[in-house]
Amino acid sequence: MQTENKETIEIEGKKYIIEDLTDKQRYYLAQIKECQNKSNMFKMQIDQMDMAAKSFTNNLIEDLKEKPEEEKE
């Protein structure tokens, strides 16, 4: 059996040919990949929210430094 052209995964140092896995094992693998994809997406969203919060914080700080209209006159 040739494994060179077949897709494999490595788990705990052992390679497995994906097409040789059972349906249940391929289902678990698909779930793992989906969880990893969602985790990466959530990390990106957290980064975006962190950047937005920092920007709003900086805007608030700058706005507080400005004198109100009444004090300018």
Residue pLDDT, tens place only, 30-62:
999 999 999 999 999 999 999 999 999 999 999
Q: How many domains does the chain have?
A: 1
Contacts of 33 (CB under 8 A, 6+ apart): none
pLDDT confidence of residue 4: 73
Asked whether residue 9 is domain-assigned, the answer is no
Asked whether residue 55 is domain-assigned, the answer is yes
Asked whether residue 15 is domain-assigned, the answer is no
Domain that holds residue 49: 23-65
Answer yes or no: is pLDDT of 3 > 70. no
More confident of the two residues 4 and 24 = 24
Asked whether residue 31 is domain-assigned, the answer is yes
The Cα–Cα gap between 7 and 26 comes to: 12
Asked whether residue 49 is domain-assigned, the answer is yes
Whose structure tokens read 């040789």?
A: 20
Answer yes or no: is pLDDT of 1 > 70. no
